[in-house]
Structures are given as structure tokens and as C-alpha cells.
């Protein structure tokens, strides 16, 4: 009557235990499986089987279903690799004219990892609003090794800078590095005024003119100013720190010139003003003059008629 061998099986691998002569118990030091037990079964453990054989060849086994010993035959193995968070939209530092932009990011755990624990998701908006995977506006799509998340903000975002901050853990409790995405909302097009020429339509007798104006944008300066003369792009105009700009143009003679000025903010919103400038270099023509009656008596009225035209 003596124990002959004691061995254990974990994850399909048998390991013989050795007797501790001091305690009389059988012991083994065993490397844990290389993958998490999270996905092994619904209770997330590796079942352990212990088998003892006596010298007569009688065998007894116990495993995780054993009435009294079963609870001691469940090995929890945890992986230690953090999940990742990668934003896909909007771009970092982007200027958006939409004040309810869709924000998207990807949550991934390593292959054969414990997997993303989606209920651990938190999304902070500007440090005040906190969303979870079940919040209104949060769409969760399961993909291989993780989730794709799409968020429509619950409230309209004000003009200015906004930051979304995401935290997530995997099912073995590994926390991803907190990841943030900052961008701007700008719903208001630039201001634009043209001081020269001042009117919608002006008349000149020279072809040289300096277009003078001022622009500003409260959220996304600097503003880009461009000019078209008779539908031909005249390029980008330098705008000073105060928003002032000047552009010299050579107009076409004896036609109506169309000058269009465009101010574009960093969110792509455009304000434009058009001016019509008639260049007329040809003096009027006087073709006939009549005075009647002629001669006229002293103190009496006469009528002078001038026939003059202009092109």
C-alpha cells in the first residue's frame, strides 16, 4: 500500500509530480500555458486533472468537476498584453465645419488574447461628458480581435477645440494606454470686406487697380484669400496679422471686369465678394451741336442741343 506516481494534466500536457520528503506531499513546478485561460470555457479557467496510481496499479483521478476537489482544479491564466486604441477620424488637429462630427476609433487586443472588455469602454469629451459602450450615439461593431467604435456626440460641439479621450481594458484586466484625439469645430465662415473698390460697380479710366480688403476668422485663422479676375485665378494673396490684404490687378480695357475675392478658413468655409469694374479709356464723342434760334434777340431764350455719345 503505497503511492507509486502522481501526475497532473493541464491544457493537454501531463507533468509528473515528485514527493516532498519533508511534507510527504507531491509537488511540481509547472510553466503556465502560453495563452490566457479566458477563452477556454465560460468560467475562463484551464481544467486540471490529477491522477494518482498506487504500486498495485489502482488509479484515481480528480478534475474540475469533482464534488469536493473540483474548485481546487481550476487554473486561471492571464495574459499581460495591453489592448490598443487607434483613432481613425477625424484627423488629429483637423478643422471641421460639422459641429456633430462622427468620431471613430479601433480597439484591438492581441491575437489569442483575452479580448477587449467592451463594457470597460469610457470615452471622455473635453473632460466632462463620459460615454460608455451603451450610451446613445455610440455604435459598437465586433471585428477580429476587437471592436470598431463610431461615436456621434450627444450634444452639438461648440466652435473651438475639442478632445476625445478613450480608455479600455482587456478581459484579463490589462489597461490600454489612454489615447486622445484633438480637433477643432468651426461653423462660422470668415468675415470679409472690400474697401477698394467700394461699390458693386465702379467706373475707371485706367486698367491698374489695387484691390484692398480685410478678413478675419474667430476660430480658424489664418484665412486664405484668393482672387479671380474675369474667372482667372490670380493666386494666393498675402494677408497680414490683422487680416489686411492688397492685390494689384491689371484690368481689361473697355469691358466690364469681374473681380471675385474668396476668404477660406481652415475648416474650408468660404466667404466671397464680387466687384464689377468698368474700364473706359475712350472719351465721349460730340457729333453735332445746334443752337436755335440763331441769331437770337437780346434777352430772349435760345436752345442749345448737343449730340454726344460714349462707348
DSSP-assigned beta bridge partners for residue 46: 75
Interface residues with Ca ion (CB under 5 A) are 81, 109, 113, 170, 174, 186, 188, 217, 219-220, 265, 280, 282, 310
φ/ψ (deg, to 5) at 5: -135, 150
Of 64 and 170, the one with the shorter C-beta distance to Ca ion is: 170
Of 50 and 117, the one with the shorter C-beta distance to Ca ion is: 117
Of 64 and 265, the one with the shorter C-beta distance to Ca ion is: 265
Cβ-contact 216, 271 below 8 angstroms = no
Of 136 and 144, the one with the shorter C-beta distance to Ca ion is: 144
Nearest approach in angstroms of CB 169 to Ca ion is 9
Nearest approach in angstroms of CB 129 to Ca ion is 24
User: How far is Cα of residue 174 from the mean position of the Cα atoms in its chain?
Assistant: 26
The runs of H, that is alpha helices, within the chain are: none
Integer Cα distance of 182 and 34 in angstroms: 38
Integer Cα distance of 199 and 259 in angstroms: 12
Integer Cα distance of 49 and 74 in angstroms: 9
Nearest approach in angstroms of CB 239 to Ca ion is 14
**Side-chain-side CA neighbours of residue 124 (13 Å):** 12
Nearest approach in angstroms of CB 40 to Ca ion is 15
Of 115 and 153, the one with the shorter C-beta distance to Ca ion is: 115
146 conformational bin, left if phi > 0, alpha if psi -120 to 50, beta if neither:
left
Nearest approach in angstroms of CB 230 to Ca ion is 19
Q: In what order do the strands lie in the sheet with 232-237?
A: 201-204, 270-279, 256-264, 224-229, 232-237
Of 50 and 101, the one with the shorter C-beta distance to Ca ion is: 101
Nearest approach in angstroms of CB 54 to Ca ion is 43
Nearest approach in angstroms of CB 1 to Ca ion is 49
Of 64 and 217, the one with the shorter C-beta distance to Ca ion is: 217
Work out the number of other CB atoms within 10 angstroms of the CB of residue 105: 21
Of 64 and 109, the one with the shorter C-beta distance to Ca ion is: 109
Of 188 and 249, the one with the shorter C-beta distance to Ca ion is: 188
Nearest approach in angstroms of CB 248 to Ca ion is 23
Give strand ranges (E) for 90-243. Answer: 95-96, 103-108, 116-125, 129-131, 138-143, 146-151, 160-170, 179-185, 191-196, 201-204, 208-216, 224-229, 232-237
Nearest approach in angstroms of CB 267 to Ca ion is 6
Cβ-contact 131, 80 below 8 angstroms = no
Integer Cα distance of 46 and 36 in angstroms: 9
Amino acid at each position: 500500500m503505497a503511492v507509486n506516481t502522481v501526475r497532473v494534466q493541464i491544457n493537454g500536457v501531463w507533468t509528473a509530480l515528485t514527493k516532498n520528503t519533508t511534507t510527504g506531499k507531491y509537488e511540481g513546478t509547472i510553466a503556465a500555458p502560453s495563452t490566457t485561460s479566458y477563452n477556454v470555457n465560460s468560467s475562463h479557467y484551464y481544467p486540471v486533472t490529477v491522477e494518482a496510481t498506487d504500486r498495485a496499479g489502482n488509479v484515481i483521478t480528480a478534475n474540475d468537476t469533482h464534488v469536493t476537489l473540483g474548485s481546487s482544479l481550476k487554473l486561471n491564466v492571464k495574459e499581460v498584453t495591453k489592448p490598443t486604441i487607434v483613432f481613425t477620424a477625424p484627423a488629429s488637429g483637423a478643422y471641421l465645419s460639422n459641429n456633430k462630427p462622427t468620431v471613430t476609433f479601433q480597439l484591438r487586443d492581441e491575437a489569442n488574447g483575452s479580448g477587449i472588455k467592451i463594457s470597460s469602454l469610457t470615452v471622455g469629451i473635453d473632460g466632462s461628458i463620459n460615454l460608455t459602450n451603451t450610451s446613445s450615439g455610440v455604435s459598437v461593431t465586433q471585428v477580429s480581435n476587437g471592436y470598431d467604435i463610431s461615436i456621434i456626440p450627444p450634444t452639438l460641439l461648440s466652435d473651438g477645440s475639442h478632445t476625445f479621450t478613450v480608455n479600455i481594458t482587456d478581459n484579463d484586466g490589462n489597461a490600454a494606454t489612454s489615447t486622445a484625439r484633438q480637433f477643432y469645430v468651426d461653423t462660422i465662415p470668415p468675415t470679409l470686406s472690400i474697401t477698394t473698390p467700394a461699390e458693386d460697380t465702379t467706373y475707371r479710366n485706367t486698367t491698374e487697380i489695387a484691390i484692398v480688403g480685410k478678413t478675419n476668422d474667430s476660430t480658424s485663422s489664418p484665412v486664405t484669400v484668393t482672387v479671380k479676375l474675369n474667372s482667372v485665378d490670380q493666386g494666393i494673396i498675402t494677408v497680414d496679422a490683422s487680416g489686411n490684404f492688397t492685390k494689384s490687378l491689371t484690368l481689361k480695357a473697355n469691358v466690364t471686369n469681374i473681380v471675385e475675392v474668396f476668404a477660406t478658413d481652415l475648416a474650408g468655409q468660404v466667404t466671397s465678394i464680387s466687384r464689377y469694374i468698368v474700364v473706359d479709356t475712350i472719351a465721349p464723342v460730340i457729333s453735332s451741336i445746334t443752337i436755335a434760334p440763331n441769331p437770337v434777340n437780346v434777352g430772349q431764350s435760345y436752345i442749345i442741343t448737343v449730340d454726344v455719345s460714349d462707348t
